[in-house]
Each structure stands twice: as C-alpha cells, then as structure tokens.
Amino acid sequence: MSEMTTLAPPEVPTWRMYRAMVGIGLLCGLLIVSVFQLTTPIIAKNRAEALQKAVFEVLPGAASSKTFVREGDRFVPLPDGASDSPGVGEERVYAGYDQGGALVGVAIEAEGMGYADVIKVLYGYGFDQSAIVGLKVLESKETPGLGDKIEKDPAFRENFQALDVSLDGSGKAASHPIEVVPHGTKTSPWQIDAITGATISSKAIGGLLGKSTAYWMPILAPRRGDFEESR
Amino acid sequence: MTTAGSQSDPRTTDEFIKGLWRDNPVFVQVLGMCPVLAVTNTARNALAMGLATMFVLVMSNIVVSSIRNFIPKQVRIATFILVIATFVTIVDYVIQAISLDLHKALGAFISLIVVNCVILGRAEAFASKNKIVPSALDGLGMGLGFTFALLCLGVVRELLGSGAIFGVHVFPDRYQDWVIMILPSGGFFTLGAWLLVFNAIKKRKANAAGTAKEAA
C-alpha cells in the first residue's frame, strides 16, 4: 500500500471489504447479545422493584403487592410467568396488602397531557375510604422549579392523602367530580388545592385523575372481592 | 508546553495528559457540545454521562487500534461507527441494570453517545494510526478530560440551580434556587463562564512563559 502513488483508489478486492465488515459485524453482534443476556434479568428485576416501591408509596401500610388483569368486568391475578409489560389492550392494576394480608387498596396507572409533555402517575385507591390515598408521579417533564413541584411540594401532596372519589347512588358516576381550586381555597375532600405558579400542571393532575377515576371507579368499586379472594 | 511527568516514556504520558488539559475535548476542542449542555443539570448526571462516554471512548479506541491493519480504507468509517454503536448499546444496558432512575435522567443522550464527535474523532485521528497502548491512553485521557469538563458544568449548575452538590444540600433553606441554571439556557451560561476561565488561565500561562507560540 505504501507503493501506491496514483490518485486512483487503491485496488482493494471487494471481498476484503465484505470480510472486514461482516467479520466486525458478527463480533459486535455477539458482544451485544451476550451483554443483553446478562443484563436483561437484572433490568427486569429493577423494573419490578421500582414498580413495587411505587405501589407501596401510594398505598400507605402495604407490605406486599400482586398484579391483576382486567377481564371484562372482573379482575383476575396475573398468571405466573406472564410478560413484564402489559400486552396491547391489557389493563393492569396492582393490589396492595398489609402485614396481616388484608387488602389496603389498589394502585392504578394514569396519564394525561401536562404543560410540557405527558405526565404519568400511579395512584392508590382505598376501598374503605372510597378515596385516593396516595399519588406518585412516575414520569413528567414539567418545568423545573415550577411545574415539577407536583412531584415534591408537600402541601400539594397532602391533597392525595384522602381525595374523595366515591360514586353516587347509581354507581356509574362520581358523586363529586374532582375539582382543582386556587391555592388556599380547598374546602371539600374532592377538591385539589393547586400550586401557585404551577396552575397548568396542577390542573393536568386533576384532569387525568378525574378521567381515570371516572373510568375505573364504576368497574373497580364493586369488585373488591376479586382482590380479597385470591389472597 | 511541557509535561511534568518523569515517566520512562514521556510520549505515552503525553497521550494521556493532552486530553485532560491541553487538548481538552470540551474546553479546547469544543467538541461533543450536545451532552455537555443537555445532561449537566446535576453533578450526578454529568459524572454518569462522562464515565459512559469515557468507557465507549476507551473501548472503541482499543478495538479500532487493534483492527486498524485489517480494515480497508474505504469502509473504515462504517466499521468505526459499528464498533462505537456496539459499545454504546452495551453502556445503555449496563446503566439500565445499575439504576433505572439514572437511565431515565440521561434519557436519549445515552444512545446519542454514538454521534458524539469526540469518539469518532479520536478513532479516526488517533486510534486508526497508533498502537493499542497509546490509543487506550489517548481514549482514557480524552474521556477523563470530557468527564472533568462535564463535572465542572454539572457542579456549578446544580449548586446554583438546586443549592446542592450530588444531591446533598449545601445552601441554607432560605436560598432561592436559580431555576434558570438547570434549564437549557443555564448550560450555555455556565459553559461560557468556564470557557472564559480556561482561556484566561491559558493566556496567563502563555504570557508568563514568554513563548512565541500563541495559544490558539
């Protein structure tokens, strides 16, 4: 190659290029596959632990949890060995039980549009209280310092210790839809006290909870037994 | 500029030192600005991003250097990219296995290490022409220099933006966070300030030494 002084490209047989690229490609593929095999179980374990931690956070007092899948208007435990991520159209909820094995409540995932991007939350529903008993923001890209207070602001988080979502007499609709009110004017248990300076993000949380509870409560509230029996 | 090291092989030491200081990829070459500005809002993110980049840099330099005589010139860039992409994929899985929170915070920027021009730049400009040991040292030096630069930004931005370093609060609760510092614009301000500092230091050194060589 040092003798090549012409401007024309040096004569490299095509098969040498193929050999180089296919060879490197195979090696790289092998490397990726082995790392994938090694890390997949650890990643799955991390995911499951993160979800479990979130479930315990939104269901105060819970010490163990179990995943349920909705089948029509009833709930069945997730079969062992099922995939970690829900399939298309599959709806999952997570029941939490206390030390004694009594049902604490059910954790439900919900999402809705925030100020910057989709906000994903997990909230806990307590059957005894007919209320939301805890909320954790799983994913949000709200403005740091303003909108992201929905994740940490203690006064705002207090809203979700007992947010009334009870159903009216018909069992089809909420007796009082969730309302977001300006900071400091909360008077009823179905109202959310907004954060000053983060009104849009606060309303987004109220909106997505309202939508999710309107969907879930009529199905979930009468099926308490599904979660207790399978214990 | 001389290297203070008194090692047996001054050239090898130089390969290592140059990335840290004289040819620092961020402050001198101003390469790879995308992660520098995007993921330095906390010291932890900056450190993780720097280490991930360093790993890819060292590994791809080693591999590229060891296969340099086997690769025809015409397909070298494609091959380098393949090697780099492989190590980025590995880093992506490893970070997910270490901490999901960290993986979420770094987001798409882990995959984007592939297109960090520091890495392809070192593969093409250095590793493809040098032996394995100097290439590994070059990658390590450049990687450390990159990590150092990211940390410089991350520490300042987290300190002013959240009053903390590595998540540990150091300012009293009365401190009002400078929210702008953890927003993207804060990255530009901090980078500008650091470039000012480093250029001032360089200029003073050049003047003090009285050398005719100008400091680019």
Span A93-136, pLDDT tens digits: 898 888 888 888 999 999 999 888 889 999 999 988 888 999 99
To the nearest whole number, what is the mean pLDDT of chain A? 84
Give the residue with greater pLDDT, A6 vs B128: B128
pLDDT digits (tens, 9 = 90+) for A189-206: 888 888 888 888 999 999
Dihedral angle computed from the Cα positions of residues A188, A192, A193 and A197, in that order, rounded to the nearest 10 degrees: -160
Q: Are A101 and A63 in contact, with CB atoms under 8 Å apart?
A: no
**Most confidently modeled of A4-18, A60-74, A141-155, B59-73?**
B59-73
With cut-offs at 50, 70 and 90, classify the pLDDT of residue A28: very high
The percent helix, strand, coil of chain A (3-state, each to 5) is 40, 25, 35
> Quick count: other Cβ atoms within 10 Å of Cβ A81?
5
Pairing of the two strands A191-193 and A179-181? parallel
In the predicted model, is pLDDT for residue A7 greater than 80?
no
Say what the pTM is: 0.76
Does pLDDT of A220 surpass 50? Answer: yes
d(CA A130, CA A141): 30
Which residue out of B82, B106, B181 would a mutagenesis test of the A interface target, given it has the greatest number of A Cβ atoms within 10 Å? Answer: B82
> Is A39 in contact with B83 (Cβ distance < 8 A)?
no
Contact assignment for B179 to A146 by CB distance below 8 Å? yes
CA-based nearest residue to A140, from A107, A109, A115: A115
A15-24, A116-125, A221-230: range with lowest mean pLDDT: A221-230
Question: Cα–Cα distance between B92 and B104 in angstroms, integer?
Answer: 11
Q: Using CB atoms, pick whichever of A40, A43, A144 lies closest to residue B182.
A: A144
Calculate what percentage of chain A has a pLDDT beyond 90: 22
Ordered per-residue pLDDT tens for chain B, 216 residues: 344 434 446 677 788 888 888 888 888 888 888 888 888 888 988 999 999 999 999 999 999 999 998 888 888 999 999 999 999 999 999 999 998 888 888 877 888 888 888 899 999 999 999 999 999 999 999 999 999 999 999 999 999 988 888 888 888 878 888 888 888 889 999 999 999 998 898 889 888 887 555 544
CA distance A213 to A121: 13
| Coil vs helix vs strand at A151 | helix
Amino acid at B23: D
CA distance A116 to A109: 19
Amino acid at the residue A72:
G
Helix, coil or strand: residue B33: helix
In the structure, what pLDDT confidence band is assigned to residue A85 with cuts at 50, 70 and 90? Answer: low
Give me the pLDDT at residue A5, please: 52
pLDDT of residue B3: 41
- Residues in B closer than 8 angstroms to A50, CB to CB, are 100
For residue A20, give how far its alpha carbon lies from the nearest alpha carbon of chain B (Å): 6
Asked if ipTM goes beyond 0.85, one says: no
In chain A, DSSP finds a helix count (H) and a strand count (E) of 5, 9
Q: What is the model's pLDDT at position B215?
A: 47
Dihedral-angle region of residue A145 (phi above 0 means left; psi in -120 to 50 means alpha; beta otherwise): left
pLDDT for the residue numbered B8:
47
Residue of B nearest to A41 (CA): B97
User: Which amino acid is present at B3?
Assistant: T
pLDDT the model gives residue B89: 94
Beta pairing, strands A92-97 & A74-77: unpaired
CA nearest A147 in B: which residue? B179
| Per-residue confidence (pLDDT) for residue B214, from 0 to 100 | 52
Characterize the bridge pairing of strands A64-71 and A179-181: unpaired
pLDDT at position A51 is 84
Instruction: Give the domain ranges of chain B.
Output: 2-215
